[in-house]
Amino acid sequence: MTYASINTAGKTLKTGDQEYWNEVTRKTRFRNVHVALDQNVSKIRPTMIYEQNVNDHMTAIRNAAHLEGIGFRTLWVEECLAAPEYIGRHGHQQNVGPLARAVHPGHLVQLSTLKAQNGSIETECYLAIKEIRGFAPLDNQFGAHPKKSVPEVLREPLFGIVAPTEVEVEQHGSVANVPSMKTYAILDAAKVLHLPLFLANSGLKFRCLFKGETADKLKNVAPYLVELEENSAFTRDIFTSAGMASNMWDLDPGIYIRSRANFDDIWRHFRKFTRIKNEKGKWFLFRFWEGATLGAYFEKIRENLNTVWCWEVLYSGRGSVHSICVMSNDMHGPTCTRAIFECDRRKATSRNFILTEEEYQALNGAKYNCDLEVIASNVFEAVSASKPSLSMQESLEIVRECAARFRNFGFTRMDHIYTFSYLDVMLGEGFERKDPEGTLFEICVSEFPSNQKFGDPRLGTGRRTNLALEQFREMMTNSGENFSAWGRQALKIQFTRLAWRSGH
């Protein structure tokens, strides 16, 4: 039997020890950190850090080591607050949402944009990222005339008039010749059932971002570019949540683009991002139309001139992207993250688009955090009747701790994490250690693959004997006073994964 272990202060702790769990438990914090870049610049901040660690003392030490490792010298640390409290105090002013989505177990520290306090230096950004909150999706608007196509607060970023820049006037010869600003969307057919049919009936111009045989085979899960019109019923459906099959808001269907370029040029431009390679030359399918991950990615690249330039300036040379909006829903409500491109093309030196390891980790981390929020929401809903005092924030904290705990047992699949988080709520934290005979914990730390330990239904019990699963079920079913009837029934439901509805 293999036990995970860590070494702290010269003492080796194993997974069975309570001290181990105390050590690996992570807390989420925001900090303001003052640092020095060199002798000429004595103070620089945001520096806001979103972090996870054991306690404040260890956090401060790791922060200092992290900053010094990338060329900064820590001056002092202040205002350490729990993430929800920090967002409540400063979220709108400091725009901390993208920072929160950028961290994960593999990337624990994320610095915001650096600003010089003495005016000596300021890190230049080429993306202005703004968060818009305080709105709700459209309802069925019975009796309303005229009907809105988007929530009022989103009308300006999505359909507002944008004055031509000097570069655009010079390029087209006069203000009158500058094309009007258009609005495009890239929507995900994997999320919106019958999207190709909806698009065909919309009367709007659209095209799959894939081509040829790939487009034919993947048409029901592919991304589609569509040129939106403000008063279109299809546009209204994108931003409506009223229980109709055509409503798309709750599905987080895609991203929204403003540009003066024509449809064909925009299609060619964004199509090139569907496949990208990393620094080692490995190619990836890049689902950049996933709003939850794109926001974290933009936060990561905002100071990289050449990368921002690749996104902003069309390869055809016949235009540029003005802005991209991504929508997300979390426990704090709907958010529109708007990235406005502010690239000085004269300074750009390369159009070689490469996904760096840091960018890759930011994307993975954002997806991981998004998945945990979905799990927390599902757990919160599932236990609301029996645990009415549980808050959504508490549910998320339980899910995060449970995910970290079971990662040490080799469990990383989100449906597994959902099950264990649910049982943590219903049966008590650390339920896997409450079996008097220790069978459940023994299964968790065994060398079986996680699918076998959990009992993945896709393995097929008729084709494969799963001893660990049978032990798991039998132990839980016969556990007597440690697990009530509802607990045993919940376990049976979770093993069939009927309650997991995140869309994965």
Dump pLDDT digits (tens) for 394-448: 999 999 999 999 999 899 888 889 888 988 898 888 888 887 777 778 888 888 8
For residue 107, give the DSSP letter. B
- Residues 163, 92, single domain; the answer is no
Residue 229 has pLDDT above 90, yes or no: yes
Q: So what's the pLDDT on residue 428?
A: 86
Whether residue 337 is contained in a domain is answered as yes
- Residues 321, 196, single domain; the answer is yes
Tokens of 434: 């409450």
Instruction: Report the DSSP beta bridge partners of residue 110.
Output: 50
pLDDT-based confidence at 497, cuts 50/70/90?
very low
The DSSP annotation for 287-310 comes to: -TT-HHHHHHHHHHHTT-HHHHHH
Whether residue 16 is contained in a domain is answered as no
Cα–Cα nearest to 1, from 495, 462, 445, 480: 445
Whether residue 293 is contained in a domain is answered as yes
Instruction: Report the DSSP beta bridge partners of residue 323.
Output: 258, 340
Tokens of 152: 């009022």
Of the residues 123, 147, 179, the one at which a domain ends: 123
- Residues 415, 286, single domain; the answer is no
Percent of the chain with pLDDT over 70: 64
- Residues 140, 176, single domain; the answer is yes
pLDDT greater at residue 123 or residue 264: 264
The radius of gyration of the chain from alpha carbons, rounded to an integer in Å, stands at 25
- Residues 319, 346, single domain; the answer is yes
- Residues 189, 337, single domain; the answer is yes
- Please give the tally of structural domains in the chain: 3
Domain range spanning residue 80? 23-123
Tokens of 415: 């449906």
- Residues 111, 136, single domain; the answer is no
Cα–Cα nearest to 378, from 360, 356, 396: 396
- Residues 133, 108, single domain; the answer is no
Of the residues 296, 318, 353, the one at which a domain ends: 353
- Residues 281, 176, single domain; the answer is yes
Residue 461 has pLDDT above 80, yes or no: no
pLDDT-based confidence at 213, cuts 50/70/90?
very high
pLDDT-based confidence at 217, cuts 50/70/90?
very high
Max mean pLDDT among 4-18, 99-113, 297-311 falls in 297-311
Residues 398, 421: contact at Cβ < 8 Å? yes
- Residues 95, 216, single domain; the answer is no
Give the count of beta carbons closer than 10 Å to the beta carbon of residue 112.
21
Q: How far is CA 209 from the centre of its chain?
A: 22
Instruction: Report the DSSP beta bridge partners of residue 138.
Output: 240
Of 48-52, 343-347, 368-372, 386-390, minimum mean pLDDT range? 48-52
Amino acid sitting at position 464: R
pLDDT-based confidence at 323, cuts 50/70/90?
very high
Residues 335, 98: contact at Cβ < 8 Å? no
Cα–Cα nearest to 74, from 44, 102, 103: 44
- Residues 307, 442, single domain; the answer is no
d(CA 167, CA 458): 58
Q: What is the pLDDT of residues 276-292, one digit of tens each?
A: 998 888 998 999 998 87
Q: What mean pLDDT is reported for the chain?
A: 75
- Residues 138, 49, single domain; the answer is no
For residue 387, give the DSSP letter. -
d(CA 75, CA 377): 39
* Alpha helices in 383-466, H assignment, sequence order: 392-407, 414-427, 439-444, 450-454
Of the residues 353, 378, 394, the one at which a domain ends: 353
pLDDT-based confidence at 40, cuts 50/70/90?
very low
Of 61-70, 182-191, 338-347, minimum mean pLDDT range? 61-70
Q: What is the pLDDT of residues 165-176, one digit of tens each?
A: 888 898 889 999
Cα–Cα nearest to 289, from 149, 213, 195: 195
Q: So what's the pLDDT on residue 82?
A: 57
Whether residue 201 is contained in a domain is answered as yes
Whether residue 8 is contained in a domain is answered as no
pLDDT-based confidence at 72, cuts 50/70/90?
low
Whether residue 358 is contained in a domain is answered as no
Name, in order, each residue with C-beta under 8 angstroms of 1's C-beta and a sequence gap of 6 or more: 442, 445, 446, 447
Q: What is the mean pLDDT of residues 70-91?
A: 52
Whether residue 150 is contained in a domain is answered as yes
pLDDT-based confidence at 85, cuts 50/70/90?
low
Whether residue 359 is contained in a domain is answered as no
Q: Give, in degrees to the nearest 5, the angle at Cα 431 between 426 and 437.
A: 135
206-208/115-116 β-pairing:
unpaired
